[in-house]
Structure 1
């Protein structure tokens, strides 16, 4: 049984409002996303095996928002790699302990880790 309603006419869907909504969504996602590339930093988890034998004392690097200290001497990120290389040749350095202050930004941490990664043969341990 089919009911007929007099005066009922099926309206077509207006595409104008649909296009406006799609444009607003596209604009929102374009403005809320970032297009810059970030460097990947690999963090190795410690294994349950025997600890590596270290014959020399590691260097202690303290990172905070306003300064960078290597064994108590203040450095910049630009001079850090040269100082690490100097310590590798003079005192046979093979490990760095990095202490990160809560005021340091994540970008400062990544920059410091990338500098330390460039120095071959240096193992890095991050402490809080």
Structure 2
């Protein structure tokens, strides 16, 4: 015997619940996914520098947080912690840093197409002021 419980309705998918689930998954993956940003280039985002490639690199504990970051772009312009400086201003700043801490770390980011002479000039200024804890930033 067949019992009639009313009209036969076709099952339907609740779109509101489905959209809520998809939205929740989308938000979860957006929050859970982190985009790796290079910590070293946060200060130098506006300076387009193509670092030279090295087959082997040495990574020390101090490399993750350098004291000063000096960038030399392909045209030979010098930037100190993201700001354009002249050679004289860089020399004055290096003198101040060396007076406070002779063991301060200095990282030099030189564009691979820059003249080697421009990078050596920056290294000479550091050596002249007694700053010997130098690192040259390269990409692997």
TM-score, scaled relative to structure 1: 0.49
Point out which structure has higher relative CO (alpha carbons under 8 A, 6+ apart).
Answer: 2
TM-score, scaled relative to structure 2: 0.46
